[in-house]
Amino acid sequence: MKFVFAVIVALFVFSSCTFHEPEYRGGERIKFGKLDGKQISFTAGAKILNQNGFAVKVKPSELELFIEGEYMGLVHLDKKIRVKRKSEDYVEGPFTATLADGAMFRMLRFVNKKELEVRLKGKVKAGVWMFGKKFDVNETRIISGSDLKLR
C-alpha cells in the first residue's frame, strides 16, 4: 500500500514540474554516410540549450522533409539523444532519410543553388525518466546548397 501511495505522490510531484522545451541555438553540421537505394544515412548535430534541471532524452521520431517547398521524404532519428541538464551543448545523432519517389532527381536541381529552404515537420518524442511528451515541429532553416552533396 505504501508503494502505491509513493508512486501516486511521485506522479503528482513530477507532473507539476515545469518543462521547458529545449531550444535550437544554431551551429548545425551534417555529415553524410552511405546511400542505399532510397535511404540516406547521415549524422547531424546542432547546439541545443536545455534550461531544465534534468536531462532530456529525445526518442526516435519521424519528420517530413521539404526542400524549397517540395516533399522529399521522411527523416528518422535512429537512436535516443540525451541533452544534458542546464547546459548549452553540441548534440549529435544518427539519422536515416527515406526518400520519396523522384526525390533524388528533384534534389539534383537544388545542388547548384547557393541557399536552400529546408523544412522539417512532424512530432518529436522527448522524455524524462518514465514521463514523455510529444512536441510539434515545424522548423524552417536556410542551408547552403553545397550541404546536399554526398561526400
Q: The domain that contains 53 carries what CATH number? A: 2.60.40.10
Q: Tens-digit pLDDT profile for the chain (151 aa)? A: 444 444 554 444 454 456 677 777 777 788 888 888 889 898 888 888 888 888 888 889 999 999 899 999 999 999 998 888 888 888 899 999 999 998 888 888 887 788 889 899 999 888 777 777 788 888 888 877 666 555 5
Exposed, middle or buried, 50 (CB in 10 Å: 0-12/13-18/19+)?
Answer: buried
- Phi, psi of 147, deg, nearest 5: -65, -20
Other Cβ atoms closer than 10 A to 63: 20
As for how many domains the chain has, the answer is: 1
Q: Which domain holds residue 50?
A: 21-148
DSSP 150: -
Q: Is residue 12 in a domain?
A: no
Residue 9, domain member (yes or no): no
Show the cell assigned to 139: 522548423
Whether 105 is covered by a domain: the verdict is yes
Q: Whose CA is closest to 139, among 60, 26, 51?
A: 26
Predicted model pTM: 0.74
Q: Is residue 123 part of a domain?
A: yes
